[in-house]
Amino acid sequence: MSVAYLAGLQPSEHPPDFGKYIAKANLGADPIQTLEEQSERMRTLLGALPAEKRLYRYAPGKWSVQEIIGHVTDGERIFAYRALRIARNDQTPLPGFDQDPYVVAAEADAREWSSLVGEWDAVRLSTILMLRNWPAAAWTRMGVSNDAPASARALVAVMIGHVEHHLAILREHYFAPTSGTVI
């Protein structure tokens, strides 16, 4: 795909709270290629993480790396589901969700690392495969998410920006600047 379906995305296409994630997405790029490249960066990062840092929390009340990966996976599923519903022209309003109870209920810290990372890979691949098959008109279809108008393409931008947000947190708080790991 060489079409930049996210180019020209307007603030009227998403709930205001999503703007912080959309700002982190390259709206001029091919979103599928961006998702693929981002997935590779995530794999590189997770592959370089020492086992003893998987449960590390940089401050009280902050999530561990395993919890972050579980959260990013859950977020991808939810945003992809919302995007799919809107892309298929479903006009049923889609509610928001509170991320904190999801993280607690997921119990990611008790999971095997390979299972957690494998699930992330599978969910991201599923998102990519879904988007590859959307007709052009699906990208700009509008619906309601979090009590506000939202386009399918805005939710794709949110997925990209949400992962960028968490990659930045991982780089800043879990990897030393001198580690040599580039993500």
* Record: fold of 16-174: Four Helix Bundle (Hemerythrin (Met), subunit A) (1.20.120)
| Predicted local confidence at residue 175, as pLDDT | 81
pLDDT band with cut points at 50, 70 and 90 for residue 157: very high
Q: Global pTM? A: 0.92
Q: What is the mean pLDDT of residues 13-37?
A: 95
Q: What is the mean pLDDT of residues 24-40?
A: 95
**Structural domain spans, the chain:** 16-174
- Mean pLDDT taken over the chain: 93
- CB of 49 within 8 A of CB of 41? no
pLDDT band with cut points at 50, 70 and 90 for residue 177: low
